């Protein structure tokens, strides 16, 4: 295992929390993150393993293994309120509510342009270390554009099913400015007990990570910018985001004939 994650230099330690989709991928073949090995199958995997379209036997197996995984995690940590961070679950809200009717959801939103640039850098550097068949950067860009659009549109439809008070949206840019304050607000809004008992641990972690520096993105190709606006403009309008001022737009000159 490398010391840092390809693409964003996040420290990798086996005992640290990870997205539960990784753990599930070790015990169940019906998980979306198999696309990292077979990127050309990402569309099929999304339909089959996030939406579970027309394959009830796959959904049944997934639900059984997911319940078992969560029970094992709670037993291992001695906890009784599992906190899961999994982008794939954005499209599984209906299924999760059938399994856990009082589940609470926190959606962290971020400027779609930063999401795209971050995702592109991450997958361009990560996928070659995992895939069984190569794809080019244009393929990766199209995959990112597709999956984000599917997830957001699924979210907008499925969040109507969430009981009132069990869904909260947090802007990443605001959370980043004062994470402790926003965590306290989340505890209050979601009626999770014992924030003050947990606060010292949150503060210690935030202080420990104070030296971490995110990737900075300074430029974007004009053609890519236009594709993002075309595909994700609805999300930017929904959450009131603009093209970041720090991005320089690179225009490619026409090749002389």
Q: What are phi and psi of 169, to 5 degrees?
A: -110, 135
How far apart (Å, rounded) are the C-alpha atoms in residues 168 and 151?
Answer: 17
> Are residues 14 and 21 in contact, defined by beta-carbon separation less than 8 angstroms?
no
What does the block give as tokens for 63? 């639900």
How far apart (Å, rounded) are the C-alpha atoms in residues 31 and 147?
Answer: 15
pTM of the predicted structure, to 2 decimals: 0.91
Dihedral, CA atoms, 16, 216, 117, 154, nearest 10 degrees? 50
How far apart (Å, rounded) are the C-alpha atoms in residues 96 and 86?
Answer: 12
DSSP letters along 59-80, please? HHHHHHHHHHHHHHHHHHHT-S
> How far lies 168's CA from each of 82, 104, 109, 163, 190, in Å?
17, 8, 10, 11, 8
pLDDT of residue 213: 73
- Give pLDDT tens digits along the chain (257 positions): 777 776 677 777 877 788 999 999 999 999 999 999 999 999 999 999 999 998 899 999 999 999 999 999 999 989 888 999 999 999 999 999 999 999 999 999 999 999 999 999 999 999 999 999 999 999 999 999 999 999 999 999 999 999 999 999 999 999 999 999 999 999 999 988 899 999 999 999 899 887 767 777 888 999 999 999 999 999 999 999 999 988 899 987 544 45
How far apart (Å, rounded) are the C-alpha atoms in residues 75 and 32?
Answer: 25
pLDDT of residue 41: 97
> How far lies 124's CA from each of 45, 85, 128, in Å?
19, 22, 7
End-to-end Cα distance, the chain: 50
How far apart (Å, rounded) are the C-alpha atoms in residues 80 and 151?
Answer: 28
pLDDT in tens, 58-110: 999 999 999 999 999 999 989 888 999 999 999 999 999 999 999 999 999 99
């Amino acid at each position: 295992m490398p010391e840092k994650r390809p693409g964003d230099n996040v420290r990798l330690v086996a005992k640290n929390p990870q997205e539960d989709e990784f753990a599930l991928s070790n015990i169940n073949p019906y998980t979306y993150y198999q696309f990292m090995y077979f990127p050309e199958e990402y569309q099929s995997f999304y339909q089959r393993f996030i939406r579970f379209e027309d394959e009830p036997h796959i959904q049944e197996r997934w639900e059984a293994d997911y319940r078992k995984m969560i029970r094992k995690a709670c037993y291992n940590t001695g906890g009784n309120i599992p906190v899961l961070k999994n982008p794939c679950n954005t499209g599984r809200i209906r299924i999760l509510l059938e399994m856990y009717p009082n589940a609470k959801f926190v959606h962290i939103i971020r400027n779609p342009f930063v999401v795209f640039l971050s995702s592109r850098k991450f997958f361009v550097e990560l996928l070659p270390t995992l895939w069984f068949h190569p794809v080019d950067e244009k393929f990766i860009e199209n995959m990112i554009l597709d999956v984000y659009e599917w997830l957001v549109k699924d979210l907008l439809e499925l969040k109507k099913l969430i009981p009132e008070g069990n869904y909260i949206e947090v802007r990443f840019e605001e959370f980043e400015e004062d994470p402790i304050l926003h965590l306290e607000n989340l505890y209050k809004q979601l009626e999770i007990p014992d924030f003050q008992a947990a606060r010292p641990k949150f503060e210690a972690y935030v202080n420990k990570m104070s030296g971490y520096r995110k990737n900075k993105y300074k430029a974007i190709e004009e053609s890519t910018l236009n594709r993002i606006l075309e595909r994700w403009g609805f999300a930017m309008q929904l959450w009131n985001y603009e093209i970041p001022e720090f991005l320089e737009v690179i225009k490619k000159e026409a090749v002389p004939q």
